[in-house]
Structure 1
Amino acid sequence: MSKKAEILLTATHLLAVKGYKDASMAELAKSTGVAQGTIFYHYKNKEELFLAILKAFQEDIVEEFSRYRREHHFASGLEMVEAVIGFYLQMASQMEDRFMLLHRHDAYELARVNPTCHHYLEAIYNCLIDIFERAVATGQQDGSIRKGPARRMAMIVFTMVDGLVRFHTHNLYDAGVLYDDVVQSCRTILQNHVSPTRS
């Protein structure tokens, strides 16, 4: 791993645990074992470092989901939605620091005054909702999901699943315990109760 990548990884954990306001570059230097000058060589300030974390997060989501789709086949769009729910929960578990960072309030405080931060946060959520929307649209095409605004339906499903992730992130509840209930609820919301016509 390059020194720049190591700084980014350590900074992600530090910012996730302490928050944007309370984490300092001095702490980051101590955690990575490098001089502050080395960090400033790669990132001119904490804000630029934070934005780099958000940008990398979005890129990794796209890459992970692209890989997931290449490796899996779905019998229907509804099955794809259910698989995406599992994929999202797994991704949140594997990228725990990033999701913790994404769920911290101070990220949104920065976004109020920093258009680039706002753009990256919006892009991350759009990217995540796009994944669900693609699955919903696929189901509407094959008849396994009822007709309706695919984006809105995807947002409702995403909100349920992301709420479960937030429970897990903040150690309030074990997300795995509610997994089957969330999948069943999403199925109830989305399922086309009229059998698709076959030619």
Structure 2
Amino acid sequence: MVKKRDAILNTAAKLFSEHGFKETSIADIARATGVAEGTIFYHFKSKEDLFLAILQEVKEDILREFNTYRKESEPLSGLQMMEEAISFYLYLAAKMDERFLLLHRHYPYKLAEVNPVCRGYLEDIFNCLLDIFEQAVELGQKDRSIAPMPARKNALIVLTMVDGLVRFRDYNLYDAAALHSELLSAVRRMLRNPSF
């Protein structure tokens, strides 16, 4: 049985991702959850507090998924690790589509400008993702499958490419799965050590 707090979080996350933070009222959440507005305020001080609780949950879910992925994954080279990390990111974005859509909305970043807790959650999420790509570049430089280059900057470029593809999918602009092999080819060309 789902606890009321969890039901409120799940319903609010769905509504915020579909309609946006400003366009979703506490009354909308209460109606969709089947609870009184007072019940929501019993668990959360404000709509912003509810949003931050969702963001914290998103952060914990993504970190947990990637930590599990890291423990289970044993690539042969840094370039292979990069390819597997990209594929896993796309898989995770599809599995957690509402959560990623929420991250791709404008509101979290506006809130992060004035709310250090929100900023911290967003930084944790994107640093986790960036760290995985950076580790792949560093491993590839050690095993010589990836050319010498600034690891963090190139990891950021890869993350931007992959996340951009997920945004296409989130907004129904293009089928991200249809570009999977082309994305991997582009990353290989960008990173591959020509002397390897």
Same fold? TM cut 0.5? yes
Equivalent position amino acid for 2:149 in 1? G
Percent of pairs identical after alignment?
54
108-117 vs 92-101, which deviates more?
108-117
Matches within 5 A, 1:118-129: 118-129=119-130
Whole-angstrom CA distance in 1 between matches of 2:20 and 2:27: 14
Question: Does structure 1 residue 167 correspond to structure 2 residue 137?
Answer: no
Q: CA deviation at 1:80?
A: 0.7
Whole-angstrom CA distance in 2 between matches of 1:25 and 1:14: 10
Query: What's the TM-score once normalised by structure 1's chain length?
Result: 0.93
Whole-angstrom CA distance in 2 between matches of 1:131 and 1:55: 20
Q: CA deviation at 1:9?
A: 1.1
Whole-angstrom CA distance in 2 between matches of 1:72 and 1:111: 33
Q: CA deviation at 1:116?
A: 2.1
Whole-angstrom CA distance in 2 between matches of 1:115 and 1:73: 36
109-118 vs 84-93, which deviates more?
109-118
Q: CA deviation at 1:171?
A: 0.2
Q: CA deviation at 1:2?
A: 2.3
Q: CA deviation at 1:106?
A: 2.2
Any stretches of 5+ residues in structure 2 without a counterpart? none
Equivalent position amino acid for 2:79 in 1? L
Deviations 1:108-138 (A, max 9, x none): 2222222222222222211211121122112
Question: Does structure 1 residue 83 correspond to structure 2 residue 84?
Answer: yes
Report the 3-state secondary structure (helix = DSSP H, G, I; strand = E; otherwise coil) of the residue aligned with 1:44.
Answer: coil
The aligned counterpart of 2:36 is 35
Whole-angstrom CA distance in 1 between matches of 2:45 and 2:169: 33
Equivalent position amino acid for 1:75 in 2? L
Whole-angstrom CA distance in 1 between matches of 2:128 and 2:189: 24
Contact 1:77 1:135 in 2 (8 A): yes
Question: Does structure 1 residue 177 correspond to structure 2 residue 178?
Answer: yes
Over the aligned positions, Cα root-mean-square deviation in angstroms equals 1.2
Contact 2:111 2:118 in 1 (8 A): yes
Aligned residues: 195
Report the 3-state secondary structure (helix = DSSP H, G, I; strand = E; otherwise coil) of the residue aligned with 1:29.
Answer: helix
Whole-angstrom CA distance in 2 between matches of 1:78 and 1:177: 21
Whole-angstrom CA distance in 2 between matches of 1:191 and 1:17: 39
Report the 3-state secondary structure (helix = DSSP H, G, I; strand = E; otherwise coil) of the residue aligned with 1:146.
Answer: coil
Deviations 1:59-113 (A, max 9, x none): 1111101111222321111101001111001111111111111111122222222
Question: Does structure 1 residue 186 correspond to structure 2 residue 195?
Answer: no
